[in-house]
Structure 1
């Protein structure tokens, strides 16, 4: 298996990984943190969510990266300048400084492709993508689960161990809790 990670500029590939099975479903579609306005997030229903993601895929930079096994999209990582996300105003995850950091908030691997190391490729690919676009620092908000199992529906934020393996270090605690585990801020300096 040769995994290649590329910019998420092909909507159909993004939809294959994070889109709903039914186009009228009101699933996240990885917009919850990407949009700066909770009002916009709540107003997008059914197919409108997919159309908003289609618009984001056409922008530069793209809304994240996709991992491919050959031509098949097998994973997704959301990474973008924090200023263009809800993390810009999130009260539970504090700003540590005024650096124009990029946020990496979602890592998802498709069923049937999990436990093959694809998440590691996604994190590395997201970091490379941010670096290519001039990011001075990448920040992630994983759970600090101490090796305990994280419910699959909440595992999208990643774990402290996964980000440590990618060279990130803990920068701060947060008041955010997911699946009973505290979320922390982890950073990787790209300067």
Structure 2
């Protein structure tokens, strides 16, 4: 499998990865950390998809997609931390005042897992952030050690995958996901 990672500017492909089977469903659409809580609660059903479609048309799309040929097989949400809920988080600390980017969601479609897609997504998100002038990129993965992680809650990523990509531990957090603590991992892009 040869994986190519590209900016998430094709809405239909983003919908394949993070959209619901039914347009009326109120799934995350990877908006929970991207937009203020009040707006996240107000956007219902098709309005969530419309919001994401608008993001896909922006100069800086909402993340990156992994492709196997023409088939979208993975998604990673990445944006300036200042544009996310992480800018205001009380559980995930700021390491310093550097205008870092955040990488907070990685999703690989069933049937394509355990084939290196998440590693390609992390690398693609790093390049995307670098190409847009980010001085550093952070992720907030689970620090699960060797414990198995529920795939539904593994969207934040796993610490060891970020370590393999060159990220280093920058801070502990008070955030816990699926029973595992989350940590701040950072990669300097300068």
Alpha-carbon distance in structure 1 between the residues aligned to 2:100 and 2:59: 17
- Corresponding position of 1:106: 105
- SS of structure 1 residue aligned to 2:64: strand
Q: Kindly provide the CA deviation profile for residues 6-25 of structure 1, in whole angstroms up to 9, marking residues without a partner as x.
A: 00000000000111111110
- Corresponding position of 1:133: 132
- SS of structure 2 residue aligned to 1:126: helix
Alignment pair present for 1:151 and 2:150: yes
- Corresponding position of 1:77: 76
**1:82 Cα deviation from its structure 2 partner:** 0.3
- SS of structure 1 residue aligned to 2:183: strand
TM-score, length-scaled by structure 1: 0.99
Map 1:77-96 onto structure 2 (within 5 A).
77-96=76-95
- Corresponding position of 2:24: 24
Structure 1 residues without counterparts, runs of 5 or longer: none
**1:60 Cα deviation from its structure 2 partner:** 1.7
Would you identify which runs of 4 or more consecutive aligned residues in structure 1 move more than 6 Å? none
Alpha-carbon distance in structure 1 between the residues aligned to 2:89 and 2:46: 27
**1:96 Cα deviation from its structure 2 partner:** 1.2
- SS of structure 2 residue aligned to 1:119: helix
Alpha-carbon distance in structure 1 between the residues aligned to 2:51 and 2:62: 11
Structure 2 residues without counterparts, runs of 5 or longer: none
**1:190 Cα deviation from its structure 2 partner:** 0.3
TM-score, length-scaled by structure 2: 0.99
- Corresponding position of 1:50: 49
**What is the total number of aligned residue pairs between the two structures?**
190
- Corresponding position of 2:38: 39
- SS of structure 2 residue aligned to 1:92: coil
